[in-house]
Structure 1
Amino acid sequence: MKKVLSILLIGLMLLVSTNTVLAAGDSLDIEKVAIQSIKNSQQAQSVDRQVTEAQKNYENIEGLSNTLRGTLQYSNSYATIQAVILTPLKMENMVTVVTNAKTVLTNYLRLSSYQAYIALLKANYAQTIQQGLMNDLAADYKTAQQQESLGLISPSQMRLTEIAYLQAQYGYDSAKKAFDSASMNVNNLMGEDLTKQYSTLQDYNIVPADKIKTLNDYVNLALANRLEIVNAQSQLDVDKKGFELGKSAIPTDYDLYCDQEQQTLDNDQNNLDLAKIGVQKNIIQLYANLQAKMKVLEAQKNLEDMAAANFNSAEIQYKNSMLSIQDFDKAKVSKAQADVNYKNAQMDAWLAQTLMNLASGAGYVPLNLSLSSGSSTHVNKPLLTGPSHDK
């Protein structure tokens, strides 16, 4: 009996080593999908235009400011101060806000493309293993038919072998449909023909780390890096500067002016505090998810090792006529399912680690832009996996 299933997973891994003999257009990897998906995204193209517009507006305002700068020695009116100092400062902040939004949106699109490619890989693994299982059980079914004709097994035993083969055939058909659907989704993200197929789906760069950081490490990184916090702090700094410049113009009702501006600063500080709280909550939620994925990975590795040992034992027993073909088929099915489950757990753990790295970096939840006000807030936009970022 061929050891088809015992080498299937090894065969999948060896796909990576054969990539060098294939044309570049025949292979696909997760980063290629991400790059092409971002390039094809209308959202990315829209925010690119916003960045260009903000930069152009800033350059125009800065040019006007430089023209008026020489008049400061003759006039210290608030209008002049605002035109020379405050308005360029606000526009510079807007450029930063929009650029930050582009960074976060890029992370969001990258993560979405990762999810789509991993779904494709999962479907491909399942299809490959189900095909091997179906072919192997087809051979067993043929053997059982011969054994029944010789009176070596009963018709009911032969029927059980037939049922196992038909179930494997159904499993393969289902896996193929899932693969076709996942392939169309990836092609759609990349802007390719929906029916385009690839000779090789690479997974060499989808390897989860053995260890993860502590929760405190991730929280501290996020508080230092998340761009919704950076934006909120920047808005507070700009409004503080505006407050001081406004006071220098000696407002008609100084006390009223100070009260109104202090209210603005208090609101900015509140937004900053809320952003920090939201980020911490997000990291705590994602960390729980990450820990769960790492535990599943460890458990599935143990189950895969156990299934491999059981399969090897069953094969020896079957060859020595100590095990029925039906029980041997059960061992094959268990081994195939364990292989799929372990590969899925590896990819789920990698994706959870990637999500956490993005969450503790610039962020991954698209920012809501308001080009007229110069302010920025973040919004909830749930992803396909993992908790969404709460306000």
Structure 2
Amino acid sequence: MKKYIVGISAALIMVFGAYTAYGAEDSLDIEKVAIKAIQYSTEVKAKASAADLTLDRYGKDLHVTNAWSASSVIYAPLNAQYQIDLSYGDLQITESSVRLSAYQHYITMLKNKYKVELQQKFVDKLTIENEDAENKLKSGGISEYDAGMIAANLAKERITLKKYQRSYDADVINLNKVMGEPVLNKYANFIDQNIKPSATLRPLEDYIQAGLASRYEVTSAESSLEVTKVRQAIEAPDKSQSMPLDYYQATTQYDLAQGQNEIAKARIQVELDLTSGYSELESRLRTWENTKILLESAQSDYDLVKQNYDLGRAGKDELITAEKDYMEAQIQVKNAELDAWLFQMKMELASGIGPGISQ
């Protein structure tokens, strides 16, 4: 039977210790966001209160030393630990779900932040080109049409930048809401160096073995059957005499079969969940690799168009299109990288206590 209460205590020590180390910095990283989201979550607080109430109710039965009945000495502590484990396990599942949600918010913010940064560089470049075009127009070094096209492109890309910036600003507000911070809080830096997919993919069998040993639905079903067996053993002398033997045996066998069936169903569900998740993870990693190949192609195309433009063999429209395609390829690589990392985190939790990929 899992002792979730011990795990919770250790986790809280790690959480508060890690959070204290950050201090009052003006930067955020994904783990800080997750920790603060868990601390602020009303759902987590409700589950924690329920777990504490369960501990208060059953804690006295964990260590019975002065009772004479087998029910008090054996069954009561076992059932108490089972009830406590159920409640604290439910709390851990909720914390993991909140953590994943915080991860997703941070990933979404990083995607839009990266788009803003690339677009800002593009606008800065076009701004310099526009200033140069205005100077050339005064000296007759460029036609009004070409100067107007450069100015129009700049205006268009500034509008795009504002759109990206609005999305990014909204993401930061959402992060503040998730953490319980003032919604207008600003941060000088969002750390993302640690958000990289693992270079090596664990075998599916490793995930399944870990999940079967740790997932809440499996361990709770196993503990339930253990409690049922002990209860039946204690009740056997009385019940076998108070009801027909055939009926008593059928009832006990049915209860055991039900418990074993619940374990089997839970194990099958966990294995299916992780197998499906593993296929999705492989797909995310392949997508990431493919975007890197497309990025190399987009960069080569841009370099060629830039060379032709410098030689007068390509127009400004072609150059801007190639540069935009190159920027989009960079964005796709970053998005795929972040998505692959997030799904790896989902698999790690799904092969632990949970939640599952499909939950």
Tell me the TM-score range normalised by the shorter chain.
Answer: 0.7 to 0.9
> 1: distance between equivalents of 2:255 and 2:138?
90
Q: Specify every segment of 5 or more residues in structure 2 that has no aligned partner in the other structure, as ranges.
A: 1-21
1:181 CA displacement: 1.3
> 2: distance between equivalents of 1:147 and 1:296?
45
Conserved 8 A contact 2:295-2:326: yes
For 1:193, which of 156, 161, 182 is the aligned residue? 182
1:158 CA displacement: 4.1
Aligned to 1:333: 324
For 2:219, which of 220, 230, 234 is the aligned residue? 230
Using the size of structure 2 for normalisation, the TM-score is 0.86
Using the size of structure 1 for normalisation, the TM-score is 0.79
Conserved 8 A contact 1:208-1:346: yes
Compared CA separation, residues 91 and 176, structure 1 to 2 (3 A): same
1:123 CA displacement: 1.2
Deviation string, structure 1 residues 209-253 (Cα, Å, up to 9, x no partner): 123123333223222221210110110111011111111334411
C-alpha RMSD of matched pairs (Å): 2.3
1:295 aligns with 2:294: no
Deviation string, structure 1 residues 51-107 (Cα, Å, up to 9, x no partner): 2222222222246x43323xxxxxxxxxx4333322222111111222222222221
1:307 aligns with 2:306: no
> 1: distance between equivalents of 2:145 and 2:264?
71
1:109 aligns with 2:98: yes
> SS of the residue aligned with 2:202?
coil
Q: Which amino acid aligns with 2:267?
A: K
1:208 CA displacement: 0.7
Compared CA separation, residues 162 and 288, structure 1 to 2 (3 A): farther
Larger relative CO (CA 8 A, sep 6+): 1 or 2?
A: 1
Aligned to 1:68: 67
1:263 CA displacement: 1.9
> 2: distance between equivalents of 1:305 and 1:62?
63
1:388 aligns with 2:354: no
Aligned to 1:181: 170
Which runs of structure 2 are paired with 1:247-262 in the superposition (5 Å)? 247-249=236-238, 250-253=240-243, 254-262=245-253
> 2: distance between equivalents of 1:299 and 1:144?
38
1:151 CA displacement: 5.7
1:38 aligns with 2:38: yes
Compared CA separation, residues 62 and 362, structure 1 to 2 (3 A): closer
For 1:217, which of 200, 206, 218 is the aligned residue? 206
> SS of the residue aligned with 2:39?
helix
Conserved 8 A contact 2:79-2:227: yes
Aligned to 1:84: 73
Aligned to 1:77: none
Conserved 8 A contact 2:62-2:78: no
> SS of the residue aligned with 1:66?
coil
Q: Specify every segment of 5 or more residues in structure 1 that has no aligned partner in the other structure, as ranges.
A: 1-21, 70-79, 366-386
> 1: distance between equivalents of 2:130 and 2:265?
64
Compared CA separation, residues 251 and 204, structure 1 to 2 (3 A): farther
Structure with greater helix percent: 2
1:148 CA displacement: 5.3
> 2: distance between equivalents of 1:248 and 1:151?
108
Aligned to 1:357: 348
Deviates more, 1:132-141 or 1:88-97: 132-141
Conserved 8 A contact 1:157-1:326: no
> 2: distance between equivalents of 1:198 and 1:38?
20
> 1: distance between equivalents of 2:61 and 2:212?
32
1:255 CA displacement: 3.2
Aligned to 2:56: 56
> 1: distance between equivalents of 2:40 and 2:162?
32
